[in-house]
Every structure is written in structure tokens, then in C-alpha cells.
Copies of this chain bind each other. A is one copy, B any other.
């Protein structure tokens, strides 16, 4: 087998970091904890947010910033639960941006009612590569992976798994119908990120939703602690 490696430009990331710090200062001033929630397309981020909101988040007042290439399908679902939601679309270009960056989030902040919430969940564009490269001023990062995607994803997309403190393994109701080894996934996550916390959930059966809701609800209290 032959191998070829391709160099990548990094210049844009410095500017992103500067804007991410400005976002962070705004969030700090408002006393809002921010979660950057990432995954591949169709892993179940929105369904998990719906279940957590339905389960209740204690005293924590949540708001959602929905990042999508196009449309407002997910924002419409969240708005149906009477939670403040802002839609951020990345599509006016040729095919749309594949991730949110700090400046996109910054452009949406005037529309986000920071004074009325304690926790802002930013649902990133479904993609396991670029979202991990652009900080947006978040306090914490979590990702969702579905058991239907296979156990090898931490090895193929290591930066994403490495950059998150929580990995939510979703759709575990499908395990009896898949050739999927949960212990192998745990080992692959640990190989790239030994510090990562791991939750198993099913938005369909409700398994693990209580632990997921509690994790979300606890984020504002942890704000300010090193991410």
C-alpha cells in the first residue's frame, strides 16, 4: 500500500482564537456557561437535547444556538419545547461552511438572550473534523457518537475525540442488532483521550438520559473551572 500526506494551512486559527476570547468575555460577563456540542451527521444531538429539556434541568435555564448549513429543522424542534433558540445558517456560500467558528457565533450573539439563560448549548454542524479545530469561546466540549457509526471513529477522527471532555455514546438501543463492541469503543476513546468521560444513552428508550441531563445542568456551577 502507498501513502501520501498533505500539508494543511493553519493561519486562520490565530484570528479565530482572538475572537473566541472575546466571546468568552461576553459569556463570563453574562454569567452563562457555554457547551460546544458536536457529532457526525445523524448521531442524535438534537434528540438528546430534546430529551434533556423534557427531563428538566433543575434550576438551569437553557438556551440553544443551532448551527446548520441550511434550514431550521432542528431549531424548530427545540423551539417547540419553549426554550430560547437561535438559528445560525452557514450556507450563503457555494456549499456552506462545514463548522461554526468564533466569528460566526459572535455574529449571532446579539440575537441570543444571554441575560435570560444560565447555559447556552451550541449545536455545531454535523462533522467530525473541522468543528474540533475552531474554538468558539466555550467552557466545555461534548460530542455524540452513535453506535451505528462503528467502533473505529476515535482512531479515524482523533482530534474530535481528544478535544471533548464528554463522549455520549448514543442509540444504544440498537446494540442487539449491530456487530458493535462497546468495550472496543471504550478502549479506542481511551487510546486518544484517557481523560474523557463517557455516557451511554438512547434518546429512543430513555436509557442514560437522566445522567446526561444532570451533566448538562451541572455545567453552570462548573463555569470558571479549567475546561
User: A-side interface residues toward B, CB under 8 Å?
Assistant: 1-10, 13, 40-42, 68-73, 75-76, 79, 85-98, 104, 107-108, 111-112, 125-130, 132-133, 146, 148-150, 152-153, 155-159, 171, 173-174, 177-179, 204
Contacts and interface: CB of A to CB of B under 8 A. Distances in A.
B72 A3 contact: yes
Q: How many copies does the complex hold?
A: 2
Nearest to A7: B92
Contacts of A13: 94
23 contacts: A2-B112, A3-B72, A3-B88, A3-B111, A5-B91, A5-B92, A6-B88, A6-B89, A6-B107, A7-B93, A40-B41, A41-B156, A42-B146, A69-B129, A70-B158, A71-B156, A95-B132, A95-B159, A96-B159, A148-B149, A148-B171, A173-B177, A174-B178
Contact of A157 (B7, B41, B130): B41
Contacts of A173: 177
B148 A174 contact: yes
Contacts of A70: 155-158
A148 B133 CA distance: 26
Nearest to A158: B70
A111 B146 CA distance: 35
